[in-house]
Amino acid sequence: MVELTKQYPVNVRFIEEMPFNGEGSHYPVLVWNHKTILDYLKSYFPAIYKIPDPPHSTSYNYQIPGHQGTIGIIAAYTRTFCGTCNRIRITPQGGLKTCLYDSGIFNVRDLMRAGANDAELETAFVEAIGNRAKDGWEAEKNRQFGLPVSESMSTIGG
């Protein structure tokens, strides 16, 4: 994948393991964290170097001399980028998530089906975003019923 950055101005991004599998259990050991991924890349591309991260980036960004593209590593589980994240997600079921680790703030689909107008939707979004958790640790702690993250990434929208 990294070789694509040699000929093409693309950003290839790697995300560290997310230790939940959609069945309510967590992996006992996180093997591929952001540091391990970088060390692995350095073993093949020793000249890889850090480049500035854009504002609100969720990845640490790198480049290899002579390559047109860049490489990003997303520390999603260790949550080291939370302070700069400005992402929201809408799950396939319509749930708004202001963090991968929250249990969903409200259901956009249900609001729309109930006849919410644009102003009501805007108010709901602004309130949700204005009250988002400071980081993934807080979002997980505040999950409904205190349950840990157990959804599959495909249902989270990550």
| Predicted model pTM | 0.65
- Considering only CA atoms, which of 60, 54, 105, 51 is closest in space to residue 78? 60
Mean pLDDT in consecutive groups of 10 residues from the start of the chain, 158 residues:
96 80 56 90 98 88 98 80 77 86 87 96 93 81 69 63
Q: What is the pLDDT of residue 79?
A: 65
pLDDT at 57: 83
Distances (CA, A) of 69 to 34, 48, 58, 82, 148: 19, 12, 17, 25, 37
Cβ–Cβ under 8 Å, residues 56 and 113: no
Which pLDDT score, from 0 to 100, does residue 68 have? Answer: 98
Judge whether 108 and 126 are in contact, CB under 8 Å. Answer: no
| pLDDT for the residue 19 | 60
pLDDT recorded at residue 28? 62
Q: Positive or negative CA dihedral for 37, 56, 10, 67? A: negative
